[in-house]
Amino acid sequence: MSEEKKTSIKKIRSAGPMRDLMADYFRELDEAAKTGSAKVAWCTSVGPAELLRAFGFRVYFPENHGAMLGSTRVASDLIPAANAIGYSPDICSYLTSDIGSWLRKSTPLTKAYGMATVPKPDVLVYNTNQCRDVQDWLSYYARELRVPICGIQTPRSLGDIAQHHVDDLMAQHKALVPLLEQVSGKRFDIDALRETVASSYRCTTLWKRVLRTATHVPAPVTFFDDTIHMGPAVVLRGDERAVRYYEGLAAELEERIRDKVAAVDGEAHRLYWEGMPVWGKLREHAELFMARRTCVVASTYCNSWIFEALANKDPFEAMARAYAELFIVRNEAFKEGYLERMVRDYGIGGIIYHDAKTCPNNSNNRYGMPGRLASKLKIPYVVVNGDLNDLRLYSEEQARTQFEALVEQL
Ligand code: SF4
């Protein structure tokens, strides 16, 4: 058994402003859906949020709701309701828990923000860059609520992004405009889109600065903190309030570095988390590693909201490139190179691969990558079976044993 130390998770001051910001975001959505003061668009997490915001839509992200269902540990109880109407227990558990939540008329938004229900959409917009499940997920609501749906089909498993990919994706983004004009009742304004993309780029740059603070030894922040603080980067990119929030968070973490404050006291080991978080077990995982003076300093998941290509002057090209360059869209060779760079940049001593049963798209252990990288990088790894939301697919005992075995090898 590795050395275990009694310790507690260090509070990040910015958590207060973040809670206020998220509360404002949900209040505005609720108000828009109830009163019609603004139109509501549902968007997939790496969908064209900037385009929607440029039309003045309040933008809601079902995956964010999925993560709430996971972290509040109600997902496993709701999934069977979606299974009962034909959605397999093997497909995305964000999808099944979210549809289960809809069918059971039960959402954690009620307790957290006093919302009776999720905000009803006026339009549903997806990008299949991450998986096909998102299209099927929003299609359910399109049928159920008789709401128009549109989206972007992105090719997967890309190596280099070629100009023909970009041209096709730009054309697909532009093709969304007529429907969005019709639903929003507004003419498309290229300047509004430019401003929104520029704001989104400022947000992403600051989010990167936040994540990169963990290249410092000891790290001022952990992956488990990042999963909480990424909220505004997901749901409010393109809104200046997210920019202001990350200015504060980045400054706080840089202050921790100057004051020699570590997220994990006596940090002895540094790990990388590949794959989805187990949302219902974040606190347990954070405490388990902290007690072993181990900091999970970086992850593919949190880095997925860094969109460098949003710097492009043409807002359509910016979005087309940004949402095609994502890790999840790329081929094995790209992913291996990416992980190698992360291991080097963050001084990683070992890798945890989370094999999420219901999300093959974010489980990168299934085609030999852990073995190939281990022999190249000479660092240990572990593959933990589990799931993002369905805790029936996760064994606490087994995971704990595996985490401890990995730390022992470091
Ligand atoms: S990428 Fe995975 S977790 Fe995300 S929506 Fe698709 S299947 Fe679900």
State both tokens at 190: 């290229």
Ligand 1, atom 6, residue with closest C-alpha: 131
Does the C-beta of 243 come closer than 6 Å to ligand 1?
A: no
**Per-residue pLDDT tens for 197-231?**
999 999 999 999 999 999 999 999 999 999 999 99
Residue 194, classified by CB atoms within 10 Å of its CB into exposed (0-12), middle (13-18) or buried (19+), is middle
Q: What is the pLDDT of residue 297?
A: 98
Question: Would you say residue 114 has pLDDT above 70?
Answer: yes
Alpha helices in 218-323 (DSSP H): 223-229, 231-235, 240-258, 282-291, 300-303, 315-322
pLDDT of residue 1: 42
Q: Could you tell which of 138, 361, 389 is best to mutate to test the pocket of ligand 1, judged by most ligand atoms within 8 Å of the CB? A: 361
Q: Based on DSSP, count helices (H) and strands (E) in the chain, helices before strands.
A: 19, 8
The length of the chain is 410
Other C-beta atoms lying within 10 Å of the C-beta of residue 254: 15
Residue 4 Cα to ligand 1 middle (Å): 35
Per-residue confidence (pLDDT) for residue 5, from 0 to 100: 59
CA 131 to ligand 1: nearest atom: 6
Nearest atom in ligand 1 to the alpha carbon of residue 134 is 5
pLDDT tens by residue, 29-75 = 999 999 999 999 999 999 999 999 999 999 999 999 999 999 999 99
Closest CA to 248 of 8, 9, 20, 10: 20
Decide whether any atom of ligand 1 lies within 6 Å of the 134 Cβ.
yes
Cis peptide before 17 (omega within 30 of 0): no
> Residue 2's pLDDT is what?
47
389 lines ligand 1 (CB under 6 A): no
Q: Whose CA is nearest to atom 5 of ligand 1?
A: 134
**Amino acid identity at 321:** R
- In one letter, which amino acid is 79? I
pLDDT band of 8, cuts 50, 70, 90:
confident
Q: Judge if the beta carbon of residue 131 lies within 6 A of ligand 1.
A: yes
Cβ burial, residue 122 (10 Å; 0-12/13-18/19+):
buried
pLDDT tens figures, 164-200: 999 999 999 999 999 999 999 999 999 999 999 999 9
Relative to beta strand 294-299, strand 149-152 is: unpaired
Atom of ligand 1 nearest to the CA of 358: 7
Given a cut of 60, whether residue 3 has pLDDT beyond it is no
Does the beta carbon of 329 lie inside 6 Å of ligand 1? no
pLDDT of residue 7: 67
Query: Measured in angstroms, how far is the CA atom of residue 305 from the centroid of ligand 1?
Result: 15
- State in Å: Cα 73 to ligand 1 middle: 18
Measured from the CB, is residue 361 less than 6 Å from ligand 1?
A: yes
Cβ 122 under 6 angstroms from ligand 1: no
Phi-psi region of 36 (alpha: psi -120 to 50; beta: other; left: phi over 0): left
Cα of 369 vs centre of ligand 1, distance in Å, is: 20
Average pLDDT over residues 361-390: 97
Pairing of strands 381-386, 350-356: parallel
- State the pLDDT confidence band at 6, using cuts at 50, 70 and 90: low
Q: How far is the CA of 35 from the centre of ligand 1 (A)?
A: 32
Question: Is there an atom of ligand 1 within 6 Å of 133 CB?
Answer: yes
Tokens of 280: 């219902």
Nearest CA to ligand 1 atom 2: 359
Atom of ligand 1 nearest to the CA of 94: 8
pLDDT tens per residue across span 323-370: 999 999 999 999 999 999 999 999 999 999 999 999 999 999 999 999
Instruction: Read off the pLDDT of each residue in 88-106 and give the average, rounded to a whole number.
Output: 98
State the distance from the centre of ligand 1 to the C-alpha of 47, rounded, in angstroms: 13
Task: For residue range 227-283, list pLDDT tens digits in order.
Answer: 999 999 999 999 999 999 999 999 999 999 999 999 999 999 999 999 999 999 999
Cα(383)–Cα(352) distance, rounded to whole angstroms? 6
Q: Is 130 in the pocket of ligand 1 (CB under 6 A)?
A: yes
On the question of pLDDT at 4 being above 60, the answer is no
Q: Is 388 in the pocket of ligand 1 (CB under 6 A)?
A: yes
Q: How far is Cα of residue 30 from the mean position of the Cα atoms in its chain?
A: 22
